[in-house]
Amino acid sequence: MTRRSPRTLPGVEALVVRLSQLDSEAEGAIRVVMFYDTLIRRRVDLAALVRASAGLAECVAGIRLDGTGQTFRVAPDGPAPSAGRASTTVAITLDDEQIGAVWLERPSPLPLDRLLLDRLAIAAAAVVERYGPARTTMADPALVELAISPGTDAAARARALRLLGFAADAAVRVVAVRSPLPLDQLGALVCPARPVKAAPLGEVGVLLLTAVDVSRFPADVRAGIGTVGPLPGSWLSARTALRFTTSRRPVVDYCSLGALALLAHVPGDAARDNTDVAALASLAADDLDTLDAYCATGSVRRAADVLHLHHSSVARRLDQLGKTLGYSLVSPTGPVRAQLALTAWRLLEA
């Protein structure tokens, strides 16, 4: 069979032939480069990358992303055995930041292993940059904190969001939650059709998402929904809204608070010294519940329905509460004073 002249082959293929005539290892190196260039052009995902690498290297290959903990480990003929030791490892970097690693597992390294892993790392970084990590819900808390912190510069925030899997132009907002339900389940529940990332930060759970279905929050979850806009502001407003949640209003959107949001900025000592707020500390739980139902509904009869009591019983309770608090709850300003006092008192408790 007649071999084609290098002059008849375009670009890289001609270079392969020329180098193969000089050095067999150089030919192998160029073939490795072409192999990964082809995979990148075909826009394969991480799973396909590691399968192809295991086949090319004829040993177990692996990819790990630090941001999500996502790991792929494959043998040439299928799933890799549980035990294994990396013979060669290379870091995956994106924008000068290490985001994971790739490795091969064999008894001892071969001459082209380092080159193969260098190209695999470049291909893996290209996949992450193009698509972000796979749509798992749980995320690295440090990466989430970087995205929402007011001290993060714009470039670092954009990089963190990309590593979390959000498009550059996505309108991401923050939801602060206290939930008995695992955060990954909660995130998938309230944002089932779009990307969502969740992580615990201290005692508060954080959801990063582009849409939220308020009706899908379980009854035992408290959630504060932040504003749409810059993430540091959304995080601050989400935490503020969370402070306003109650058993009757477990989900609060910051935008629905209006002027009530100003109460969150009242110094604690000033709130405690206020007569109306201080008076609430002496009330029994049933009295506080009655006051809350009345303020929430604005009507004795509707409050009675909420409390499952006769309206005359609620009226008597409110009359007695008015005497304890020092103002009439059925006067034009009474419900307003009580609502402000209840809100300020709860913010202190929160």
Spell out the alpha helix ranges (H) of the chain.
11-22, 24-41, 46-57, 113-131, 141-148, 154-164, 183-190, 231-243, 268-273, 275-280, 285-297, 300-307, 311-325, 334-349
SS3 241: helix
Q: What DSSP element (H or E) covers 207?
A: strand 204-209
**Does the pLDDT of residue 7 top 60, yes or no?**
no
% the chain with pLDDT above 90:
61
Residue 182 in tokens: 């695992």
**For 3-22, what is the mean pLDDT?**
48
Q: Which residue has the tokens 């759970």?
A: 205
Q: At what angle do helices 300-307 and 311-325 cross, to 10 degrees?
A: 110
**Does the pLDDT of residue 17 top 80, yes or no?**
no
CA distances (Å), origin 280, targets 41, 204, 244, 313, 344: 68, 27, 17, 20, 10
Angle at 99 between CA 42 and CA 166, to 5 degrees: 70
Q: What DSSP element (H or E) covers 91?
A: strand 88-94
**For 202-208, what is the mean pLDDT?**
95
Please tell me the pTM assigned to this model: 0.64
Using pLDDT thresholds of 50, 70 and 90, give the confidence band for residue 66. Answer: confident
- The residues that bridge with 63 in the sheet, in sequence order, are 72, 102
Where along the chain do its domains lie?
6-131, 141-263, 266-349
**Does the pLDDT of residue 5 top 60, yes or no?**
no
> Over the stretch 212-237, which tens digit does the pLDDT of each residue have?
999 999 999 999 999 998 999 999 99
pLDDT score for 14 = 57
> Over the stretch 295-319, which tens digit does the pLDDT of each residue have?
888 899 998 998 999 989 999 999 9
Cβ count near 228 (within 10 Å): 14
Report yes or no: 185 and 201 within 8 Å, Cβ to Cβ. no
**For 105-111, what is the mean pLDDT?**
93
Using pLDDT thresholds of 50, 70 and 90, give the confidence band for residue 328. Answer: very high
Report, at the CATH architecture level, how domain 6-131 is classified: 2-Layer Sandwich (3.30)
Q: Name the amino acid, one letter, at 70.
A: Q
pLDDT score for 138 = 82
Using pLDDT thresholds of 50, 70 and 90, give the confidence band for residue 276. Answer: very high
What is the residue-averaged pLDDT of the chain? Answer: 87
Higher-pLDDT residue of 159, 102: 102
Assigned CATH for 266-349? 1.10.10.2840
CA distances (Å), origin 270, targets 12, 273, 281: 75, 5, 15
**For 85-106, what is the mean pLDDT?**
89
Which DSSP symbol is given to 108?
A: S
Torsion, Cα 185 187 192 193, to 10 degrees, reads -140
Q: At what angle do helices 334-349 and 285-297 cross, to 10 degrees?
A: 120
Q: What's the CA gap between 170 and 175, in Å, rounded?
A: 16
Q: Which residue has the tokens 């912190």?
A: 149
**Does the pLDDT of residue 44 top 60, yes or no?**
yes
**Does the pLDDT of residue 10 top 50, yes or no?**
no
334 Cα distance to chain centroid: 42
pLDDT score for 290 = 93
Report yes or no: 37 and 103 within 8 Å, Cβ to Cβ. no
Report yes or no: 68 and 131 within 8 Å, Cβ to Cβ. no
